[in-house]
C-alpha cells in the first residue's frame, strides 16, 4: 500500500531546521570562546546555564548589567557581506554601558537568530563577538543560536546580547558629585559606532554612485562598518589612577562617564548630570572627521541634529575634577585614547542640559 504524502515522515531538517549545522557551529565557536576565558568562569559554552563566580578580590561587589543589539547597521552587513565586525559592535554597546557605572565587565552572552543557518556567516559573527570580549577582558560564556524558518529573509539574521560586570559598592559612578567647574573630556569614536544607521542608510541611498571612494583614509564601506570602539581597559585604568570617592565631601578624580549612543551628545550627557547642572561644550574643540562631514552634508542637517543623532566623533565622555583634568587626559592618551577637552560643567540656569557654542 502506497503511503500518502500527508503521512510521509517529516524531519526537523525538512521543516527548515538543521541540527547538524547547529552542532557544527558550536564546534567552531568553542575555541573562540576559550580565548576569552578569565578568572571566575566555572562553566561556559555547552551547558544549560553558564556559571560564573564573582572574583574574591571584590569586598562589596555590586553587579551591573547591560543589554543591546546592533540595529540597522546589520542591513549593511547583509548587503555588503561584511559579517566579521558586527559582533564587536554587539559586545561594545553593552560593555561600554556597564563601564559607565565604573564596573569591570565580567561575562557576556549572545543571541543569534536567523531563518536558515549559514555556519560560515554565523562563525564570522561569533568570531567578532569573541574578539570584542577578548579586547574588553570579559568572558564569552554562553549564548543561543536560533534557526527559525520563515521568521527572517534569506541571508539575514538578528543579534542581541548582554553583559554583566561588577564594581565595588564604594566606587560606583553615579555622577551625583559632578559640579560646576568640572572639566568634560571627550574620547574619540572610531566612527559611527552602532547608532544612527537608519539615517546613514538613507544617506548612502541619496548619494548613490556619487558616494566617495574613501573616507578618513579607509574605503567607503570599511569606514561606515568600522566597529564600535571598546573603551573598557583604558578607562578602567584611568579610573584606578584617578579615583573619586562617593563621600559627599570628596573632590578630585573621575566623577562621571557617559557612553555616547543613540541620542548623541545632547541626550546622553544629561543622564549622568545632577539636577541644576549643564555641560557647556565648545564647538570646534574636537575635529569633525570626513565621515561625519559627509553624513552632515548628504543629509543636509544642522549641528544640533548631528549632535543628537550621531556621536559626531566623541564616543565616551569623561567628567573629571578640574585639578586632575590634565593628568587624566595624559593617562588616557598614554593608553592609546585620542582625548579632547571639549567643555566644562556649569550651573544650568535657563539653558538646556547640554549647550554647544
CATH number of 192's domain: 3.90.650.10
For 293-317, write each residue's pLDDT tens digit: 999 999 999 999 999 999 999 999 9
7 is a domain residue: no
Task: Name every residue whose Cβ is closer than 8 Å to that of residue 1 and which is 6 or more positions away in sequence.
Answer: none
Domain match, 92 and 187 both? no
Q: Which range, of 15-24, 94-103, 343-352, averages the lowest pLDDT?
A: 15-24
Structure confidence at residue 16 (pLDDT) = 72
Strands (E), 169-302: 183-188, 214-215, 218-219, 254-259, 277-281
For 167-206, write each residue's pLDDT tens digit: 999 999 999 999 999 999 999 999 999 999 999 999 999 9
- Domain carrying residue 32: 16-171
How many C-beta atoms lie closer than 10 Å to residue 333's C-beta? 13
308 is a domain residue: yes
For 222-279, write each residue's pLDDT tens digit: 999 999 999 999 999 999 999 887 665 567 799 999 999 999 999 999 999 999 999 9
How high is the mean pLDDT of the chain? Answer: 92
Strands (E), the chain: 41-43, 51-52, 61-69, 104-114, 139-147, 157-168, 183-188, 214-215, 218-219, 254-259, 277-281, 314-320, 339-347, 354-356
Half-sphere exposure of 275 (CA within 13 A, CB side): 0
On the 0-12 / 13-18 / 19+ scale of CB atoms within 10 A, 171 is middle
DSSP assigned state of 197? H
Structure confidence at residue 352 (pLDDT) = 80
139 is a domain residue: yes
Name the one residue in this structure whose C-alpha cell is 572574583.
Answer: 55
- The last residue of one of the domains, among 171, 202, 218, is 171
Mean pLDDT of 127-145: 94
The model's confidence at residue 14, banded by pLDDT at 50, 70 and 90, is low
176 is a domain residue: no
The model's confidence at residue 331, banded by pLDDT at 50, 70 and 90, is very high
Domain match, 25 and 165 both? yes
To the nearest 5 percent, what fractions of the chain are helix, strand and coil? 35, 25, 40
State yes or no: pLDDT of 56 exceeds 80.
yes
For 150-163, write each residue's pLDDT tens digit: 999 999 999 999 99
Domain count of the chain?
2
From the CA atom positions of the chain, what is the Rg in Å? 23
User: Which pTM does this prediction carry?
Assistant: 0.92
Structure confidence at residue 1 (pLDDT) = 45
How many C-beta atoms lie closer than 10 Å to residue 27's C-beta? 10
- The last residue of one of the domains, among 142, 171, 200, is 171
* CATH number of the domain enclosing 149: 3.30.1330.10
Domain match, 50 and 88 both? yes
Pure H helices in 255-289: 264-268
Amino acid at each position: 500500500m502506497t503511503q500518502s504524502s500527508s503521512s510521509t515522515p517529516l524531519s526537523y531538517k525538512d521543516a527548515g531546521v538543521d541540527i547538524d549545522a547547529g552542532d557544527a557551529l558550536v564546534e567552531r565557536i568553542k575555541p573562540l570562546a576559550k580565548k576569552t576565558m578569565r578568572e571566575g568562569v566555572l562553566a561556559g559554552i555547552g551547558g544549560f546555564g553558564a556559571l560564573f563566580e564573582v572574583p574574591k578580590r571584590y569586598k562589596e561587589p555590586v553587579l551591573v548589567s547591560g543589554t543591546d543589539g546592533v540595529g540597522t547597521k546589520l542591513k549593511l552587513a547583509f548587503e555588503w557581506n561584511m559579517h566579521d565586525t558586527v559582533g564587536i559592535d554587539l559586545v561594545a554597546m553593552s560593555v561600554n554601558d556597564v563601564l559607565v557605572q565604573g564596573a569591570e565587565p565580567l561575562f557576556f552572552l549572545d543571541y543569534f537568530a536567523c531563518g536558515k543557518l549559514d555556519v560560515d556567516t554565523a562563525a564570522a559573527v561569533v568570531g567578532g563577538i569573541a574578539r570584542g570580549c577578548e579586547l574588553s577582558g570579559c568572558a564569552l560564556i554562553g549564548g543561543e543560536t536560533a534557526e527559525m524558518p520563515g521568521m527572517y529573509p534569506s541571508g539575514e539574521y538578528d543579534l542581541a546580547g548582554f553583559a554583566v560586570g561588577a564594581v565595588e559598592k564604594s566606587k560606583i559612578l553615579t555622577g551625583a558629585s559632578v559640579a560646576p567647574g568640572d572639566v568634560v573630556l571627550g574620547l574619540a569614536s572610531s566612527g559611527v559606532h552602532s547608532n544612527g544607521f537608519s539615517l546613514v542608510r538613507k544617506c548612502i541611498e541619496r548619494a548613490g554612485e556619487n558616494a566617495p571612494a574613501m573616507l578618513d583614509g579607509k574605503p567607503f564601506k570599511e569606514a561606515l562598518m568600522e566597529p564600535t570602539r571598546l573603551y573598557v581597559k583604558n578607562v578602567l585604568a584611568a579610573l584606578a589612577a584617578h579615583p573619586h570617592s562617593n563621600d559627599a565631601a570628596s573632590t578630585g578624580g573621575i566623577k562621571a562617564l557617559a557612553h555616547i549612543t543613540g541620542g548623541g551628545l545632547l541626550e546622553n550627557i544629561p543622564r549622568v548630570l545632577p539636577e541644576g547642572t549643564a555641560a557647556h561644550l565648545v564647538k570646534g574643540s574636537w575635529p569633525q572627521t570626513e565621515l561625519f562631514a559627509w553624513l552632515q552634508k548628504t543629509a543636509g542637517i544642522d549641528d544640533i541634529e548631528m549632535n543628537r543623532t550621531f556621536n559626531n566623533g566623541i564616543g565616551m565622555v569623561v567628567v573629571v575634577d578640574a585639578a586632575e583634568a590634565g593628568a587624566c587626559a595624559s593617562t588616557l592618551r598614554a593608553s592609546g585614547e585620542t582625548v579632547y577637552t571639549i567643555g566644562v560643567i556649569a550651573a544650568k540656569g535657563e539653558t538646556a542640559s547640554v549647550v554647544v557654542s
